[in-house]
Amino acid sequence: MTDRSKAMVEFSKNRSEQKIEYVKSVISQMEMEHKKISVYSVQKASGVSKTFIYAHSELIDLIRNLKGEKKPDISAEAADTVIAALKVEIEELKKENKMLKQDRLWKEKYLSAKEENELLKKRIEKLEGQLY
């Protein structure tokens, strides 16, 4: 890395750290003023993007702690069970979706055939009227 690149990286890190400290100060100010603290409200008050807040876990943790939110504690076994159940549900939904698409096609074919049938009935009535 060149000296210029190193300097730019260092500048970027310093700027990011300054923003983090600024956002923390905004959060503490909001806390003192008993304002609602959420990612959205902090983002609006500080002027940084939600992406910036979410990219820095220390800010998210601070916001969650002040909101009283806790990270869900889930074991690996429980996570695997949930994933397996969701995969089964996805497969069932895919099958149902396929059936619904087939039903829709049959309905369209039925309506088309019914319309054609009505046209043929009218044509037969017209031809019979010409015969008699």
Residue 69 has a pLDDT of 59
State how far the Cα of 58 lies from the Cα of 95, in Å rounded to an integer. 43
Q: Is the pLDDT of residue 115 over 90?
A: yes
How confident is the model at residue 72, as a pLDDT? 61
Task: Give the per-residue pLDDT at 1.
Answer: 65
Q: Are 63 and 39 in contact (CB under 8 A)?
A: yes
CA 113 vs CA 89, 93, 109: distances in Å: 36, 30, 6
CA-to-CA dists, residue 68 to 24, 60, 64, 86, angstroms: 17, 12, 6, 29
20 Cα distance to chain centroid: 26
Distance in angstroms (rounded) separating the CA atoms of residues 8 and 11: 5
DSSP string, 88-103: HHHHHHHHHHHHHHHH
pLDDT digits (tens, 9 = 90+) for 20-42: 999 999 999 998 898 889 999 99
- Among 7, 21, 99, which residue's Cα sits nearest to residue 62? 21
3-state SS, residue 20: helix
> Is the model's pLDDT at 70 over the cut of 60?
no
Q: Residue 71 in contact with residue 57, Cβ under 8 Å?
A: no
pLDDT band at 14 (very low <50, low <70, confident <90, very high): confident
Per-residue pLDDT band for 88 (boundaries 50, 70, 90) equals: very high
